[in-house]
Amino acid sequence: MTVTYQSRADVPEIEKWRFEDLYVSTADWEKDYQFIETMLPKLKQFDGAIHDGASLYQYLSEKEEVSSKFNLVYVYGMLQADVDTRDTAAQSLVDRAKQLAVKMSAASSFFMPFLLSLEESTLKEYIEQESRLKYFEQDLFDSFRYKAHVLSKEKEEILSQLGEALSSPSHTFNMLNNADIKFGEVTKDDGEKVELTRGMYSKLIEDENRDKRREAYKAYYKPYLQLKNSIASTLASNIKTNVTLARLRNYPSALEKGLFGDMVPKEVYENLIMSTKANITPLHRYTALRKEKLAVEELRQYDLNVPLVKGVKLEISYDEAYETILKALAPLGEEYVSTLKTFKDTRYIDIRETPGKRSGAYNLGVYGVHPFVLLNHHDDLDSMFTMIHEFGHAMHSYYSSKHQPRISAGYSIFVAEVASTVNEVLLINYLLKNETDEMVRKHLLNHFIDQFRGTFFTQVMFAEFEKITHEMAEAGTPLNAEAFNNIYESLFRQYNGDEVVFDEEVKYGWSRIPHFYRPFYVYKYATGFASAIHIAEKLLAGDETTLACYLVFLRSGGSDYPLELLKKTGVDLTTSEPIADALKRFDQLVTEFAE
């Protein structure tokens, strides 16, 4: 039975983050905050005063010190706000940190235009003069890629001052979606009406009772339909802001701006969408199979998540899930498993769902401290998969921080999803291999197919939605609730097939997706999933070379561009092979399940 708490104060300390790992008290936080404020005018004084290797090194080293302290300042407030979004004191810390970020950006806005005004030969000369600049060399030369996209010093300063205002659509949606939203009511088994929570919804939408699923579905979407115009306005503003920034910075398109940092050609993004839609038939076959197995006259959206194998309800406690995860990850070696084992008792994980806590799950790696994993745990199979997914990120953060200097420890989201999804694939294979009950094995196979659909196909659909909406904004086409509805409804039909009969709520799916406020982000789930399928199957086959290469990949942080890091594991996303292989695997899973 899932443990539920009405207050965070009721949760055992061992199941909550230890904020003292960041700061013993808010007074210590305040000291770092004040230190950063005093350092910003000093950084600004370097404007026009960098003339040789020594002064360049002095600026970069002081900037790194300020940035590392700011990271702690921001994270401390953010984590506290996330465990209770209603906590005004925590929100105040976050707001102050955001204001400080704007000041930091303004103080250092001169540097990129200055750097790009240098000749490459001059920069090389500076590095020869000051050997300690070797530490910054890769970053400095990488910055030259941005030469065509950096504005004049004055314009950069103006943009940096607008930073907080430009992020307001995302902030507004997060407050609506996490703090203010009130879902409709659902009926408990005893007939009592209660307000739906996200945690309840994730359980009820999989309930075998179709009336319960329908009631939860309607209650969940109720506030999104009521707020459709407000949310459409925040999303449209976010898209237009992104398009405007891309134009100001001379990118050919918002998509290419989104891919530039990872040095991913737009063909990789477009190939992902085209390859998926060219091989969409197995997903349509699975939707038809779902309708047949559920024996419904009309298949609805609230029928797409219920397990097709009846009577299998896996109750898995948090402790049991943790032990299973450690066994499933054995192919990654003893060091990996023993390190992950320590995370439980060191309070790296905030486990329980409580009122006001941010929904979902994430890992946040903090250099020089440790990873922080947020969960909203329920004692079921989904929660175990969420755990192992976030543990993949956490171990990636742990290894990168341990083996890389600060400057290259941070890794791209593009490679992050590989580390999390390899873990998921190892878990499902472990469960299928060790389960003897045939009905449970069918249930697990069904679960893997649904995970595949959610992590791969749905994310590709989201990626196409982003591409279309940004292209509309670039063409000056109005973006509003109706436009978003039409695009989303059309895509949902293309990806899920003609078997699904649409309720009114289907077309409002766009209104509840936080990832749309981080443009061109979701496609990385799909490329990461395809890459992970390739790596995990080699690990399961006992390929020692792949294991060695994969651990090197985890330790590499951001020391190279994502596509190059993946090539070291044997995955080349500039070809269609990894996507085609993943889709072939999905076809096999559906065929096996149908039989």
Domains of the chain: 8-166 (1.20.140.70), 182-226 (1.10.287.830)
pLDDT of residue 386 exceeding 80: yes
User: What is residue 246's predicted lDDT score, i.e. its pLDDT?
Assistant: 96
pLDDT of residue 316 exceeding 90: yes
CA 457 to chain centroid, in Å, comes to 16
Phi-psi group of 349: left, alpha or beta (phi > 0 → left; psi -120 to 50 → alpha; rest → beta): beta
Question: Which band of pLDDT confidence, cut at 50, 70 and 90, is reported for residue 2?
Answer: low
Average pLDDT (337-344) is: 97
How many residues would you count in the chain?
Answer: 595
Least confident residue range of 500-509, 551-560, 576-585: 576-585
pLDDT of residue 158 exceeding 90: no
Average pLDDT (313-342) is: 96
Q: Write out the two tokens for 239.
A: 């898209």
Listed residue (394, 385, 426, 395) closest to 542, CA to CA: 426
Work out the percent of the chain whose per-residue pLDDT is above 90. Answer: 82
390 is catalytic: yes
Choosing from 157, 215, 353, 390, the catalytic residue is 390
User: What is residue 1's predicted lDDT score, i.e. its pLDDT?
Assistant: 58
pLDDT tens per residue across span 396-414:
999 999 999 999 999 988 8
pLDDT tens per residue across span 4-31:
788 999 999 999 999 999 999 999 999 9
- Considering only residues 3 and 46, tell me which one the structure prediction assigns the higher pLDDT: 46
In sequence order, the 6+-apart residues with CB closer than 8 A to the CB of 258 are 242, 519, 520, 521
Q: What share of the chain is helix, strand, coil (3-state, %, to 5)?
A: 70, 5, 25
Query: What's the whole-model pTM score?
Result: 0.81
pLDDT tens per residue across span 346-381:
999 999 999 999 988 999 999 999 999 999 999 998
Find the Cα–Cα–Cα–Cα dihedral 581, 585, 590, 592, rounded to 10°: 140
User: What is residue 221's predicted lDDT score, i.e. its pLDDT?
Assistant: 96
User: What is residue 502's predicted lDDT score, i.e. its pLDDT?
Assistant: 94
